[in-house]
Amino acid sequence: MKNSNPILSMRNITKIFSGKVRANDAVNLDVHPGEIHALLGENGAGKTTLMNILSGYYRADEGEIFMHGKPVLFKSPRQAIENGIGMVHQHFMLVPQHTVAENIALGLKGLPFVFPLRIIEGRLREFVSKYDLSIEPGARIWQLSVGERQKVEIIKVLIRGARVLILDEPTSVLTPEEIDRLFRILKKMKAEGKAIIFITHKLGEVLEISDYITILRKGRVAASLPSSAIAQKEEKAKAELALKMVGREVILDVKKKHVNLGDAVLEVKDLLILNDRGSEAVKGISFSVRRGEIFGIVGVAGNGQGPLVEAITGHRPISGGGCTVTGEIGYIPEDRLNMGSVPDLTIAENSILTQYRNSCFSGHLFLNLPSIQEWAKKLIAMFNIMASGVNTPAKQLSGGNLQRLILARELSRNSSLLIAEQPTHGLDVGSIEYVWKSILEQRKNAGILLVSGDLSEALALCDRIGVMYHGKVTIFTGPFSNKIEKIGLKMIGM
């Protein structure tokens, strides 16, 4: 396969959002005809941004795209489609009330004005038999299952003449049988000489289906290698791959003072949690966190970490087992913009978000505005928050300063358990160090549950680490230097 010329090359693609966030940083990608190319990476690694550039939704700030060796520039999705690039989005773009044929006809060029559907239905049958995509052209979208809707999206892309298909996390919504069926279709298209880019963060299926793997991390290519390089039995190589995704390149040296351990502040026993669709997201896990220790929860996103935190903080019902928290919880949520703070409210108003009922800040009916102002000023001074004043809206703060504000608020609550969810995600180096220092400092008063998608962060800070995979947890006790491989394997369920 490597003898053929690439059908598609992306060279030094860089995309910068709002002047500072490098979503893609000098990314190179080669895709050959008849190849299934897996694009791996954590949430926010830049996979979707890169594919949106390829399919014409975004324009790259730097770099070039070549099709068959010729440079191309896509100003719109339509131009990308005309060049044979088709994207199947994670969230389907279909009109539920319309039929399969009508949805496929939508936006398709070269159809006659009258009776276009007959032509569509004819061509549809052709694709259906060729790829074994049993689907009824007259069925309405809302009647179809998720797997069938995905087939419609794939046909939509194929009928427009796509030679490069991009599938954005195609398996995340499918049942195991539907995944099998999808893989059979993909293999047929591969045999036809089509190139397929398969975006995912599930390592297992990548090894099953792909010919080539590119791993993105923090907007850069962390690794690019043929799948055959990872022999099925070589677990070490697989672990290496998992570690590339979560980043272990830098073993960080963080000075940790010794803190005496106290009583357990969080006790989780045989905990069972259902997700929104009613299936088990957390399958009977047990662990405890003691005052003075940092317990890390790591794993590839979507293995039950979210529901676990929601259950501990009381935002999701528990379906079995128990979860006991001693004292109050301080909680630094992952979504600092819409959950941890209210962007349009002032810094002062945000500084009491979780504590406004406290008698220092409000009486029975009214807020104590002067003491809230005092409080916000105190937090700004104590945590070195760069702000023009306590009455400016929180949305004017930079990411690092907003996180400091949330940190300041949650650390000052004298809670016995601090839950920090992705506390340094997307922050600059200075802010990261500050957050780490503050969390380590907090061990004097509290036990800390650190949920992180960044393994190097967990390795540097935690006393114990629980690796989550498919709703189960495996606990490792530090020091971790000789356990990294095993942790990596657990992250992919081996």
- Is residue 19 near another protein by the rule CB under 8 A? no
Structure tokens at 349: 């108003």
Name the one range near another protein by CB under 8 A: 84-92, 161-169, 295-303, 363-371. Answer: 363-371
- Is residue 41 near another protein by the rule CB under 8 A? no
- Is residue 340 near another protein by the rule CB under 8 A? yes
- Is residue 127 near another protein by the rule CB under 8 A? no
Q: Which residue has the tokens 């495996």?
A: 474
Minimum CB separation from another protein for residue 365, in Å? 6
- Is residue 272 near another protein by the rule CB under 8 A? no
Give DSSP secondary structure letters for 384-452. Answer: T---S-TTSBGGGS-HHHHHHHHHHHHHTT--SEEEEESTTTT--HHHHHHHHHHHHHHTTT-EEEEE-
Minimum CB separation from another protein for residue 350, in Å? 9
In sequence order, which residues have a C-beta less than 8 Å from that of residue 253 and are 6 or more positions away?
Answer: 460
Q: Which residues pair with 5 in a beta bridge?
A: none
| Cis amide leading into 479 (omega within 30) | yes
> Is the Cβ of residue 182 or residue 394 nearer to another protein in the bound state?
394
- Is residue 429 near another protein by the rule CB under 8 A? no
**Binds another protein (CB under 8 A): choice among 55, 150, 214, 341:** 341
Q: Which amino acid is residue 269, in one-letter code?
A: K
Q: Which amino acid is residue 133, in one-letter code?
A: L
Name the one range near another protein by CB under 8 A: 10-18, 110-118, 137-145, 343-351. Answer: 343-351
Minimum CB separation from another protein for residue 35, in Å? 35
- Is residue 366 near another protein by the rule CB under 8 A? yes
| Count of residues that interact with another protein, criterion CB under 8 A | 22
Whole-number Å distance between alpha carbons of 489 and 475? 13
> Is the Cβ of residue 233 or residue 357 nearer to another protein in the bound state?
357
- Is residue 171 near another protein by the rule CB under 8 A? no
Whole-number Å distance between alpha carbons of 250 and 457? 10
Q: Name residues contacting another protein, limited to 309-338 (CB under 8 A).
A: 315, 331, 333, 335, 338
In sequence order, which residues have a C-beta less than 8 Å from that of residue 22 and are 6 or more positions away?
Answer: 14, 15, 16, 219
Whole-number Å distance between alpha carbons of 209 and 202? 12
- Is residue 343 near another protein by the rule CB under 8 A? yes
Minimum CB separation from another protein for residue 331, in Å? 7
- Is residue 369 near another protein by the rule CB under 8 A? yes
Structure tokens at 207: 């090894």
- Is residue 365 near another protein by the rule CB under 8 A? yes
Strand blocks (E) in 183-332: 195-200, 212-217, 220-226, 264-274, 280-290, 294-298, 320-325, 329-332
What stretch of H or E contains 62? Answer: strand 62-67
Minimum CB separation from another protein for residue 422, in Å? 15
Question: Three-state SS for 290?
Answer: strand
Whole-number Å distance between alpha carbons of 444 and 186? 54
- Is residue 229 near another protein by the rule CB under 8 A? no
Minimum CB separation from another protein for residue 353, in Å? 5
> Is the Cβ of residue 303 or residue 354 nearer to another protein in the bound state?
354
What stretch of H or E contains 375? Answer: helix 369-382
Q: Which residues pair with 475 in a beta bridge?
A: 466
**Binds another protein (CB under 8 A): choice among 356, 371, 399, 413:** 356
Burial of 43 (0-12, 13-18, 19+ CB in 10 A): middle
Q: Fill in the DSSP letter of residue 192.
A: T
- Is residue 276 near another protein by the rule CB under 8 A? no
Q: Name residues contacting another protein, limited to 277-316 (CB under 8 A).
A: 315
> Is the Cβ of residue 86 or residue 306 nearer to another protein in the bound state?
306
**Binds another protein (CB under 8 A): choice among 173, 353, 475, 494:** 353
Q: Name residues contacting another protein, limited to 457-486 (CB under 8 A).
A: none
Minimum CB separation from another protein for residue 411, in Å? 16
Name the one range near another protein by CB under 8 A: 54-62, 291-299, 356-364, 437-445. Answer: 356-364
CA atoms within 13 A on the CB side of 163: 13
> Is the Cβ of residue 16 or residue 353 nearer to another protein in the bound state?
353
Minimum CB separation from another protein for residue 295, in Å? 22
> Is the Cβ of residue 150 or residue 422 nearer to another protein in the bound state?
422
In sequence order, which residues have a C-beta less than 8 Å from that of residue 1 and are 6 or more positions away?
Answer: 32, 34, 35, 211
**Binds another protein (CB under 8 A): choice among 128, 185, 237, 342:** 342
Question: Three-state SS for 222?
Answer: strand
Q: Which residues bind another protein (CB under 8 A)?
A: 315, 331, 333, 335, 338-345, 349, 353-354, 356-357, 362, 365-367, 369
